[in-house]
Amino acid sequence: MEQVHIKVTEDNKRERVDKIISTEHEDTSRSQVQQWIKENRVKVNGESVKANYKCQDGDEIVIDIPEPVELEVVPEEMPLDIVYEDEDLLVVNKPRGMVVHPAPGHLTGTLVNGLMAHCKDLSGINGVLRPGIVHRIDKDTSGLLVVAKNDSAHKHLGAQMKAKTTTRKYETIVHGVIPHNKGTIDAPIGRDKHDRQKMTVTDTNSKDAVTHFNVLERFSRYTFVECILETGRTHQIRVHMNYIDFPVAGDPKYGPKKTLPIDGQALHAKTLGFVHPRTEENMEFTSELPDDMQKLLDELRRN
Helix axes 17-24, 30-38, angle to 10 degrees: 120
281 near 275, Cβ under 8 Å? yes
What pairs with residue 268 in β-bridges? 142, 171
User: What's the gap between Cα 272 and its chain centre?
Assistant: 16
What amino acid positions are annotated as catalytic residues?
138
Closest CA to 61 of 19, 5, 15, 18: 5
Measured distance CA(182)–CA(205) in Å, rounded? 29
Provide the total of helices (H) and of strands (E) in the chain, helices listed first. Answer: 6, 16
What residues contact residue 239 under an 8 Å CB cut-off, 6+ apart? 189, 199, 200, 201, 209, 233, 254
Closest CA to 141 of 268, 286, 234: 268
Using alpha carbons only, how large is the chain's radius of gyration in Å?
A: 21
Measured distance CA(99)–CA(295) in Å, rounded? 24
Beta strands 267-275 and 142-148, pairing class: parallel
